[in-house]
């Protein structure tokens, strides 16, 4: 059994393809919306290599074990499944920094921190003849610029001090995993397989621990003082927004310059439908801060309130009783669902 069982509920039927798309980062507005409803958005892009057969095999294993019941491509945990999920939570590593997962690319954090640790270690021994941990051009350039900007008189001490401070805020075994991986002068570091064998911890847990550890360090580092060497190293990796870059441009025009959907479409030369999708994505990620009444006026809001009075947003069925344009009506419907999702925790 792996972490997939934690993404299902015994109360809320969940679309299997949405969960698959969340894991392998097939980012559509539909996926983001249901990922929000299922409260699994932090898992976005956590298994980019996952393919359809692998997903289907894992689902079938859960079904065969009477842990998951599937109907119309929606899965819900059985009583046995709920018990197995609880047992999984108790027996396996659970993320401590899940809320930061969306803000960082884990692989970039790992490469940058590992390379910087190696550079600092070799520098402390006055050695400049070594093969770098990463040959990624972007990371090599970023670490070189970072290293060049540091006060070499205090760099080694501050780096060790700040890394230690971060490690002390991680679970003990997670901190040990990070230390085991670090590469330095005459120190090659352990592979994940080696650490798994030595610690007797399952590979799935090791992978989760690694992600959680490095994202944890990044989240701690960016809260350090402006003089922090770790902050200056990792702060550039924090995303400025959870929206896609194109969505962010659209949302700025909408929220800051108060452009209408039609005007954004004209200025950006985008289809009206694309602009609406951008605004839905923006609403998902900005939540209560989205100016819903800029889109849905009071009259329309009252109409939607009458049509969709049920507290459980998942059960709403779209019915175009509000506008002659089906696409526009669905846009109102979905945006209203998002707004109501921010106020009601119904599962």
Residues 173, 35: Cα–Cα separation, whole Å? 30
- pLDDT value of residue 347: 32
Q: How far is CA 223 from CA 215, 216, 230, 285, in A?
A: 13, 11, 10, 22
Q: Which backbone phi and psi does 184 adopt, to 5 degrees? A: -155, -160
Domains of the chain by residue range? 3-92, 103-237, 245-341
- pLDDT value of residue 325: 87
- pLDDT value of residue 52: 97
- pLDDT value of residue 48: 93
Tokens of 286: 């900005």
- pLDDT value of residue 150: 97
- pLDDT value of residue 343: 76
Compute the mean pLDDT over every residue in the chain, rounded to the nearest whole number: 95
Expressed in angstroms, the distance from the first to the final Cα of the chain is: 24
- pLDDT value of residue 281: 98
- pLDDT value of residue 1: 62
CATH code for the domain defined by 3-92 = 1.10.10
Q: Using alpha carbons, select from 205, 285, 296, 223 the residue that is nearest to residue 251.
A: 285
State the Cα angle at 178 between 173 and 182, rounded to 5°: 145
- pLDDT value of residue 208: 96
- pLDDT value of residue 344: 47
Per-residue pLDDT of the chain (347 residues; tens, 9 = 90+): 689 999 999 999 999 999 999 999 999 999 999 999 999 999 999 999 999 999 999 999 999 999 999 999 999 999 999 999 999 999 999 999 999 999 999 999 999 999 999 999 999 999 999 999 888 999 999 999 999 999 999 999 999 999 999 999 999 999 999 999 999 998 899 999 999 999 999 999 999 999 999 999 999 999 999 999 999 999 999 999 999 999 999 999 999 999 999 999 999 999 999 999 999 999 999 999 999 999 999 999 999 999 998 889 999 999 888 777 889 999 999 999 999 998 744 33
């Amino acid at each position: 059994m792996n972490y997939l069982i934690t993404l299902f509920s015994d109360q809320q039927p969940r679309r299997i393809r949405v969960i698959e798309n969340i894991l392998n980062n097939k980012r559509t507005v539909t996926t983001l919306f249901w990922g929000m409803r299922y409260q699994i958005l932090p898992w976005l892009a956590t298994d980019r290599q996952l393919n359809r057969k692998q997903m289907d095999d894992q689902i079938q294993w859960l079904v065969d074990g009477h842990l998951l019941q599937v109907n119309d491509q929606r899965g819900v945990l059985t009583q046995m499944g709920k018990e197995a999920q609880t047992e999984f939570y108790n027996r396996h590593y659970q993320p401590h920094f899940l809320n930061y997962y969306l803000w960082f690319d884990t692989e970039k954090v790992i490469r940058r921190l590992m390379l910087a640790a190696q550079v600092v270690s070799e520098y402390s021994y006055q050695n400049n003849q070594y093969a770098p941990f990463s040959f990624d051009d972007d990371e090599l350039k970023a670490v070189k610029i970072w290293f060049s900007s540091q006060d070499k008189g205090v760099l080694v001490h501050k780096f060790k001090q700040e890394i230690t401070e971060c490690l002390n805020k991680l679970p003990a075994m997670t901190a040990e995993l990070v230390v085991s991986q670090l590469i330095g002068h005459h120190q090659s570091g352990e592979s994940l397989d080696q650490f798994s064998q030595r610690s007797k911890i399952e590979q799935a847990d090791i992978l989760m621990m690694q992600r959680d550890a490095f994202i944890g360090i990044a989240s701690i580092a960016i809260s350090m003082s402006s003089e922090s060497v770790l902050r200056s190293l990792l702060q550039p990796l924090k995303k400025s927004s959870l929206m896609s870059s194109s969505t962010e441009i659209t949302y700025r025009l909408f929220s800051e310059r108060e452009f209408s959907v039609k005007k954004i479409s004209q200025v950006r030369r985008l289809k009206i439908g694309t602009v609406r999708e951008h605004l839905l994505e923006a609403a998902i990620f900005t939540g209560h801060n989205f100016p819903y009444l800029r889109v849905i006026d009071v009259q329309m809001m009252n109409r939607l309130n009458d049509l969709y009075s049920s507290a459980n947003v998942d059960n709403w069925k779209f019915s175009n009783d509000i506008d002659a344009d089906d696409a526009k009506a669905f846009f109102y419907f979905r945006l209203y669902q998002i707004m109501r999702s921010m106020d009601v925790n119904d599962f």
